[in-house]
Amino acid sequence: TSVRCGYLEDETATLALGKAFAEAAQAGLVVYLLGDLGAGKTTFTRGLLTALGHAGKVKSPTYTLVESYPLSHYSVHHFDLYRFADPEEWEDAGFREHFGQDSLCLVEWPDKAADLLPRADIVLELAVAGNGRNYRLLAHSETGQSCLIRLSI
Ligand code: ADP
Ligand code: MG
């Protein structure tokens, strides 16, 4: 598996990582975002969405569990499963249909729905380090690997 890692000294650097990732990404990718509250998972997502042409706000989907963004190239679904508790809700809410070759899915707190979620192509780990954040990107599939190879950071 391929790995990319580095240091993000401020919020701008996290947004820039999201942008670089957007430029390397493709529809069909499933990305798990790991890290404590405040690690920068939603900030990274905001950088990615802005780079893909989203102009409005990026809300943290803490209560809604998912926010969907129908963008010009493909749809992005941003999950935050911190409060996910009821496996039946997964089917009832139609979350499964969000995953597929036509969309890019980003998932915060994937461990909360581990048995229901499709496997990750890429895992991004973020951790507070000093005033900034350490990050690590790991590819877990060939699609994920080719994305990391394209990544210009
Ligand atoms: P999470 O979604 O992981 O809970 P958020 O992205 O919502 O975290 O919040 C992260 C907080 O940390 C925000 O206040 C953001 O401005 C800040 N932040 C993001 N990246 C960095 C960084 N590289 N260095 C310092 N602060 C950062
Ligand atoms: Mg968040």
pLDDT over threshold 70, residue 39: yes
List domains and CATH numbers for the chain.
Answer: 3-150 (3.40.50.300)
45 lines ligand 1 (CB under 6 A): no
Query: What number of residues does the chain have?
Result: 153
Average pLDDT over residues 60-68: 94
pLDDT over threshold 90, residue 152: no
39 lines ligand 1 (CB under 6 A): yes
Residue 125's DSSP bridge partners are: 34, 136
Q: Residue 153: what pLDDT?
A: 83
Average pLDDT over residues 108-125: 96
Burial class, 51, CB count within 10 angstroms (exposed 0-12 / middle 13-18 / buried 19+): middle
110 lines ligand 1 (CB under 6 A): no
**ipTM computed for the complex:** 0.99
